[in-house]
Amino acid sequence: MQVAEAGHLVEGLLRFLGEDPTREGLRGTPQRVVRSLQSLTAGYEHDVAGVVNGAAFADTYSEMVIVRDIDVYSLCEHHLLPFFGRAHIAYIPDGRVIGLSKLPRIVEIFARRLQIQERLTTQIADALDDVLSPLGVGVIIEAAHLCMMMRGVQKQNSRTLTSSMRGVFLSDQRTRAEFMELVHRRRADGT
């Protein structure tokens, strides 16, 4: 489908809603919506191998690595409404580490697709497990869903928490508890 054709679909949607796509405030809106959706779903154009791009290295480091508070923005596949929050990722290397900036990029690949939070959490864990074959991987995402806040039950303060654990994060309660404690520990400045 071409951008122009998608723009015509948005014009039809505006008419369906009772709007006039030719009025001043809506002129150009169909094209903006199409460009916006292309940006919000750009994850389909990328894969993990391309993002990692050789940035997994042999190393003897063997303790937990955590990158927390990674901003997540995605679209709910059921309503095409945003959900947003933070992801926390941990892994325990088994001879290989990954460039830290690659973790938020892996999150972005999967978040920039039509999603459900549960699948997003699992896809991130699976990707890191596949790339590194670590001793374990843990992913936690906490997000607010506009489909719950703006429509339906309209619960503005609700948050959804999902986790996906692999290896020692699944089999060793102490490792899992350490991850949870480190993710939820706040610094002295309150962040």
67: exposed, middle or buried (Cβ count in 10 Å: 0-12, 13-18, 19+): middle
Q: Are residues 81 and 110 in the same domain?
A: yes
Q: Are residues 31 and 62 in the same domain?
A: no
- Is pTM, for the whole model, over 0.85? yes
Q: What is the pLDDT of residue 188?
A: 61
CB neighbour burial string for 154-177, b if at least 16 within 10 angstroms, e if fewer: eeeeeeeebbbbbbbbeeeeebbe
Q: Are residues 122 and 175 in the same domain?
A: yes
The residues annotated with a catalytic role in the active site are 76-79, 117, 145, 147
- Domains in the chain, number: 2
Q: Are residues 7 and 95 in the same domain?
A: no
Q: Are residues 8 and 88 in the same domain?
A: no
Q: Are residues 118 and 85 in the same domain?
A: yes
Is residue 96 within 8 Å of 58, Cβ to Cβ? yes
First to last CA, the chain: 44
Q: What is the pLDDT of residue 185?
A: 84
Is residue 21 within 8 Å of 15, Cβ to Cβ? yes
Domain that holds residue 9: 3-40
Q: What is the pLDDT of residue 96?
A: 96
**Cα gap 49→53, rounded to integer Å:** 6
Secondary structure (3-state) at 97: strand
pLDDT tens for the chain, 191 residues long, are: 788 899 999 999 999 999 999 999 999 999 999 999 999 999 999 999 999 998 999 999 999 999 999 999 999 999 999 999 999 999 999 999 999 999 999 999 999 999 999 999 999 999 999 999 999 999 999 999 998 888 777 777 789 999 999 999 999 999 999 999 999 887 666 66
Whichever domain contains 117, its CATH number is 3.30.1130.10
* Amino acid (one-letter) located at 89: I
